[in-house]
A = this chain, B = another copy of it.
């Protein structure tokens, strides 16, 4: 059988259930902790912030498959299946005996895989009778995806966008506004935390941590409103399992099983989804793919972080999650391009990594953009900088196969497109892009922000 460039599933072949990888893990991700009490976060602790059904999914470590509601399936059908692509031209250009496949999630207007979870989260909010949602966005992919889903399901949306991004990426903002979202530069005077920060630092460009704090504050103080998050959480990894399920169905049709599965990792939403079906195989002994998480050298939570309880936000108002983290006080270098700049990592992936089920590597950004440019030339797709982290390692592995003569089957996740990242491409093109690797001392500063879990709740108890 001649394997085509692109394999699309039919509508009938689309997954009708999400795969909950936690159900197959012997070592489960640790429960979240409520900072004010130091106790495990239960349903009632989380529902003031998140939708009820999403909290149920967040806490469910045992149900192996969860039905995708019909309305979400209908939404998925508008932009899914995404193609599984055989990179014939890239293989030829590299002269590698390896077979390279990628799952391309960028063919929807959000430009990334983020829409898979946005559609689900907004649907559940609508079902619960909520009328509005809040979130934060940095690079803008999540904000765009959420705006699209909110427009469709007719739920109002406030997006707190890091002020420096708001000013530097007016077109991202414009896409969200076209989809009806209210985009607010953060810090703003619409929240207490925003006003306090503005009073102290009038000229600040903001941070993701501050934007999260504002979005959470706005959500809990608004009637029929909740906060939503596009990565890190267990529920997000659950929704993103459609990527991996579709991939495996398509690969099975082609008679292929990957030796290597490579994905970029920031908060873990893409990688968690991409690996889902093959990781299940590994956990159940039905398969033995090798998984590689790729992170930026400038924000190396898996490769140089600590496995510890930490806040999910820099503002330290969220529950604590046990994850690989650089400390919520860690800030990646300002010259870092694109996303993947989160201090922590999905507890699911952190636990799998800690258990030895996954490898992690870090790459530097000029090498990433070199790979992106080569990929664009031979595969016609201009990748998102985030996705290009995975491309870099897929190319390196394919070149290693050229040396060794191995005919490995390499699968990587192409999470999105770079149309709104041209500033970074220009900086690479002009030779102005710089690499940055934090020193050990800088990492220590970040680790110093890690909370003392033992002490939590004690002051409250006094």
Contact = CB atoms under 8 A, between A and B. Distances in A.
Interface of A: 4-6, 8, 10-11, 74-75, 77-79, 85, 88-89, 107-109, 111, 115, 148, 151-152, 170-171, 174-175, 177-180, 373, 376-382, 417, 419-420, 422-423, 425-426, 429
Which 8 interchain pairs have the tightest Cβ spacing?
A171-B422, A4-B11, A174-B422, A5-B77, A419-B419, A151-B377, A174-B426, A109-B382
Q: Could you say which of A111, A180, A426 has the most chain B C-beta atoms within 10 Å of its C-beta?
A: A426
A347 to B, nearest CB: 30
A170 B426 contact: yes
A300 to B, nearest CB: 27
B377 A180 contact: yes
A152 B378 contact: yes
14 contacts: A4-B77, A5-B78, A6-B77, A6-B78, A78-B85, A108-B381, A109-B381, A115-B380, A152-B377, A152-B378, A152-B380, A175-B419, A178-B376, A179-B376
A174 to B, nearest CB: 4
B78 A379 contact: yes
Contacts of A380: 75, 78-79, 108-109, 115, 148, 152
A77 B180 CA distance: 36
Q: At the interface, is chain A mostly helix, strand, loop or mixed?
A: helix
A377 B154 CA distance: 9
A85 B174 CA distance: 26
A6 B80 CA distance: 9
Contacts of A420: 419
A10 B7 CA distance: 8
Given A4-B11, A6-B11, A382 B426 contact: no
Contacts of A381: 108-109
Nearest to A381: B109
A382 B417 CA distance: 15
A179 B78 CA distance: 30
Contact of A174 (B4, B175, B379, B429): B429
Nearest to A150: B377
Contacts of A75: 380
Nearest to A148: B380
A5 to B, nearest CB: 4
Given A109-B380, A170-B426, A175-B425, 10 more contacts: A5-B78, A74-B88, A107-B107, A109-B376, A152-B378, A171-B419, A171-B422, A174-B423, A175-B382, A419-B419
A82 B410 CA distance: 26
Nearest to A108: B380
Contacts of A417: 109
A331 B88 CA distance: 45
A249 to B, nearest CB: 15
Nearest to A89: B78
A425 B4 contact: no
Nearest to A109: B382
A8 B83 CA distance: 11
A114 to B, nearest CB: 13
A115 B380 CA distance: 10
Nearest to A81: B6
A82 to B, nearest CB: 10
Q: Could you say which of A107, A373, A380, A423 has the most chain B C-beta atoms within 10 Å of its C-beta?
A: A380
B78 A429 contact: no
Contacts of A426: 170, 174, 177
A425 B174 contact: yes
Contact of A178 (B78, B179, B425): B425
A219 to B, nearest CB: 23
Contacts of A77: 4-6
A115 B170 CA distance: 28
Contacts of A109: 376, 380-382, 417
Contacts of A152: 89, 377-378, 380
A380 to B, nearest CB: 5
A11 B7 CA distance: 9
Contacts of A170: 422, 426
A108 B151 CA distance: 25
Nearest to A104: B107
A71 to B, nearest CB: 11
Contact of A10 (B4, B108, B382, B425): B4
A170 B75 CA distance: 34
